[in-house]
Amino acid sequence: MENILITGGAGFIGSHVVRLLVEKYADTNFINLDDLTYAGNLANLDDVAHKPNYRFVKADICDYTRMQQIFAEYHVTGVIHLAAESHVDRSITDPFIFARTNVLGTLTLLQAAKEYWKDDMQGKRFYHVSTDEVYGSLDHGGFFTETTPYDPKSPYSASKAGSDHFVRAFHNTYKLPVVVSNCSNNYGPYQFPEKLIPLFINNIRHNKPLPVYGKGENVRDWLYVEDHARAIDLIFHKGKIGETYNIGGFNEWKNIDLIRLLIRVADRLLGREEGASEKLITYITDRAGHDLRYAIDATKLHRELGWKPSLQFEEGLEKTIQWYLNNQTWMDNVTSGDYQKYYTNMYANR
């Protein structure tokens, strides 16, 4: 029996990964390890929480003794590591927590895996989920490939780059069976409304200002979160040990163009005149050190493992906006903060 530890499974991408894998592999046990920070929300997993192959454990990935206990108690055979501090703006105001969680937390998990598996690494796998931001910022041409040199520019991306280096160092030094992926911007249901798309949907709904950083000319490459989860499933099961795979949507949007599209679709779904909410656009001081452009070349993943995005952006965006409009209670709960107390008490260490 396989026992797969998924860290950060109560977060945005992690919850989609948990849902996909728990439903797809009924004969594998999945242990969702999450410390339920502000970004972790067990309501994201209400629909799979009752499944017999799912367990939740509340724990901090920086707690080495606890990680050792968890590996032993659940006989962990594989790790999919998503737990992280993930928001660039927060990393600018508090870089220390990013170094702690992303660098020390990843190192703690690596050490626990290495020690628990040291006598038999056969069939084991440590999958580290990372970001395209480790490659830095592009001008208007070119793409990030798996061989692009690292050049992180924000405290967030520096901490993710540090964690990626530790993962590869454990493969080189201790032969830990690792695989790494670096993905572009995700969007979809259950994303915490500090990130551009859910924040703007919520503000449009409530007729609140839409804070556009700088001139809105920065470019991001957007991927629907379920397509990322499918890529993670494929790479975890079929990716080659020691390899890195870039994941992206081949879907670049200048922020202001994306925002205008988002406004049109949201206005239509809200029964408003299309474009009426453009008046909410408010240009504000740019993010410090704001990366101009990210763009992923995902050819390797397509060529070697046959993955490609399934959704056109316009279709995925409409689906996403509709989800947030239909799930106002979820949005109200995560913005009120009450949800954490409630779910922590209800499910902790069940």
Please list the active-site residues. Answer: 132-133, 156
Distance CA 119, CA 122 (A): 9
Q: How far apart are the first and last CA of the chain?
A: 21
What backbone torsions phi and psi does residue 205 show, to the nearest 5 degrees?
A: -55, -40
Task: Find the binder of ligand NAD among 135, 192, 313, 339 (CB under 6 A).
Answer: 192
Which residue's CB is nearer to ligand DAU, number 107 or number 201? 201
Q: Does 330 bind ligand NAD (CB under 6 A)?
A: no
Length of the chain as a residue count: 350
Q: Does 76 bind ligand NAD (CB under 6 A)?
A: no
Q: Does 196 bind ligand DAU (CB under 6 A)?
A: yes
Task: Find the binder of ligand DAU among 32, 44, 218, 246 (CB under 6 A).
Answer: 218
Place of tokens 């799912």: 54
3-state SS, 246-306, equals EECCCCEEEHHHHHHHHHHHHHHHCCCCCCHHHHHEEEECCCCCCCCECCECCHHHHHHHC
Q: How many CB atoms lie within 10 A of CB 140?
A: 8
Which residues are within 8 A (CB) of 340 and not within 5 positions of it... i.e. 6 or more apart? 36, 38, 40, 41
Q: Does 251 bind ligand NAD (CB under 6 A)?
A: no
Which residue's CB is nearer to ligand NAD, number 210 or number 223? 223
Task: Find the binder of ligand DAU among 212, 223, 225, 232 (CB under 6 A).
Answer: 212
Instruction: Answer yes or no: are the C-beta atoms of 259 and 281 closer than 8 Å.
Output: yes
Q: Does 250 bind ligand DAU (CB under 6 A)?
A: no
Between helices 255-269 and 196-205, what is the axis angle to 10°? 40
Q: Does 294 bind ligand NAD (CB under 6 A)?
A: no
88 binds, among ligand DAU, ligand NAD, none (CB under 5 to 8 A by kind): ligand DAU
Task: Find the binder of ligand DAU among 16, 81, 124, 195 (CB under 6 A).
Answer: 195
Q: How many CB atoms lie within 10 A of CB 75?
A: 12
Q: Does 35 bind ligand DAU (CB under 6 A)?
A: no
Positions touching ligand NAD (CB under 6 A) are 7-8, 10-14, 34-37, 39-40, 60-62, 82-84, 86, 101, 105, 129, 131, 160, 183, 185-186, 192
Binding site for ligand DAU (CB under 6 A): 86-88, 131-133, 184-185, 195-196, 199, 211-213, 218, 220, 255, 287, 294
